Structure 1
Amino acid sequence: MKESTCWRLFSYLAIDYKAAQAELDRMAAEGWALERVHSGVLARFRRTDRTDLRYFLDWTDATKPEEHDYLQLCTEAGWELVETVGYLNIYASRPGTDPLPIQTDPALEYQRYRKKVLRRMLLADLPLLIPLLLILLLAVVSWKRLPSIPARLPLILTQSNLASAILLTSPLPLSLLLLQLIWSGRHFRCWKQAAGAGEALPVPEATAARRRGRLSLVSAVYSTLLLPLLTADVLLNDTNIYAFAGMLLGGICLMVRHPDDKRILQRSLLWCGLALFLILCGWAHGPLRDAFPGRIPPPPVLEGGEPEVMHGDQPTRSDTFLGSRAEWSESFLIRTRGSTRYYTSVYFTVHTWVSPFLADRDRTAERAEGVPLEGCEAVWRVSSHSDRWHAYLCRRGNTWLTLEFTDDFTSDPLPAALAWLEGWTAETT
């Protein structure tokens, strides 16, 4: 028994619409009719007995519905709109008809592409491309001129899964975007020459068009894979949920403004659903963080110490797939004068990594400027922000600990801090 449905990857650049049309016609000749294109990349076909089924693809502005008069013209010509994918409308021939393509003038077709697709694509892609290029250029220039840039890299890699992934994989989306723009520019130039000469617009080779379309698919998969990382950040790390409330409000405004546009309505609903999901994850952050302390044990480190909040409502803690970071202080009562109590604090900053490779590249500046402490392995005396403060940098395994305290602290907290560090790093190795 023949299958009634089948699925195919259907990912084409807008400029390769002729190749997409040829694939749909080939599927129609084999007895398959397009039913729907999911997420712009996966096409579902159903069995059909029609032998006169053909397809016609035309440009559309992805932000606006087609004009009623134009759709009426297509209907009268024998074409029925079955799906919209990105910048393309997909029309199927109506049963019992043998319609001609609506657009047969190469010059007019070229002008429609410029008006409906090219301008919109540039407006959508350039805001992404320009910042990526500027960030890449700034990173290359600043890496040598600003020593603080490499020093802050461990902070980024242990604070956000999403930022870590984007930072480490940024050449991939940048390369894909540049490849698409370069090829589209070359093909557009050929179109312009053909339209100027009154010739038919060139049809791209099918295999090459599919290969270029896969670049868009890779970009979509890449963006989708970032969502779990964003979710992990919202659940485990400090995130401003007011940004997601703004996302929700923006989606609602779009639905109110375009109540009759099915495409905008569907995308706005998806956008609002994502925003609501992230807001719920943000509300679950506190209880989940208490239940999952992360790789670094919660304080106190020193006996009798009272952990204090340093930033926001909780001690700073963050976990990523590369490492973890924690920062807190512990206060101690040093004297009492009447009803006034005087305290001193010891400040801790801990970085732990998933591999020695990453740990070896952390705290390089502090180690270079620090003085090794005699009698202690992998302990450096480092500079602090004041002469009254003492600071030590320690390493055990893949973990770095920075310890800072003042002269008011009568006993040396370093031995107890090292014992705490050695104790839990030994348990995890």
Structure 2
Amino acid sequence: MPDTPDIPPPFDQPAPALPEAPTHHPGDCRCDTCTLIENDLRAKEEGPQRRLTLTPASSISVRAVRWLWEGRLPLGSFTLLAGREGIGKSTVAYTRAADLTRGRLEGCFYGEPKNVAVAATEDSWAHTIVPRLMAAGADLDRVFRIDVTTAEGFDGELVLPSDMSSLGALIDSHGIVYILLDPLISRLDGSLDSHKDGDVRRVLEPISKLADQCGVLIEGLIHVNKSTGGDPLTRIMASRAFVAVARAVLFVMISPEDEGVRLLGQPKSNLGRTDLPTLTFTIESERVAVDEAGEPVYTGKVRWLGEIDQSIADALSDTDSGEDTRTAVAEAADWLEGHLQANGGVDESSSIKQAGKRAGHSKDALGRARRRLKITCDSSGFPRKTWWSLPGTQSDDQSARPSLESQPTAPTAPTAPTAPTVLPLEPLGETS
């Protein structure tokens, strides 16, 4: 007999019971079922969850580096300006901000005045910051103080990362291109430990991302510690994450050869050169206004002196050197000045070093002495020779140097037609 096919039960038969939904066991149960229920409830309470996606590199458009300050500070980055307290790093920062408001800063905004914003707590705006901006010739209508009002209606301070989204909105609405955090440490959430890499990165990496997304430069001022050695990056206080996250680091210090002179160098630049010349400057007092009571208002002003080929690392090593080294440099400077004066103010570099060696001065001491005396170096002729000249001698007394016309020159190949010269834009004048 053929098999009888399966016949479904009549519809009036009761359907099989569904499995019971898992229930939370009483007490502090840690079984798999209870864990799943707790995770599901927590997810519903927290709302949308984080998710991961993959973006192919081929879909990302490449961009050239744009420099807020040509060759030194890249736009769209987080950077540091480090140095001891009281040596002029804030004055340098406000001078740069002033130049931006007038279109005077060499870089992508040269000739185009821009807006800047400042979050500062150590210095008074009325007594210090505004006078410094005035001394630097800033357009004060383009400099904005970042003010904070708490949810309770009280005055507060900028706190990162809590105020990150609000800061981004201000950047867009006011056309800000440069934000100065003075000092940086005071802007970090108080619950974070500035000596722990993880805590610091949780703040700085979002700041760096904000700078990139908004196309601005965010610069933090930071102090240095009391360590010694030639590496300026190890002297920056707190966690190494500050240096690691920053795309560029500028460093201000007192010149080891002249306590009245300051040095501004660049020990780190991820997107540019690190062999840029070190800038020298002094801070001079200047009267900028008379207050409502008729009292004169004075402040410090940067006066740029020029460039030197000594790196910040070398300058720090010189600072750490002992009294014997400083004495040797002073003696070499006295000898070098006398030697050049006896030779009409100019002599060939190799001759100087040979004569100095016979007089008992090392090559290193002569090099430091040259920088101390602000002796200029100029190469010319074929084969090329380098000449050392006392200040003013090269321009005022060319007779001391052998004529270049009497020296053989290297043959030159035919040159291509010369391109038309493009003159730089003139700095903008003061506005009323």
**TM-score interval, smaller chain:** under 0.3
Return the structure number with greater helix share.
1
More RCO (CA 8 Å, sep 6+): 2
Q: TM-score, normalised by structure 1?
A: 0.22
Q: TM-score, normalised by structure 2?
A: 0.21
Tell which structure's C-alpha radius of gyration is larger. 2
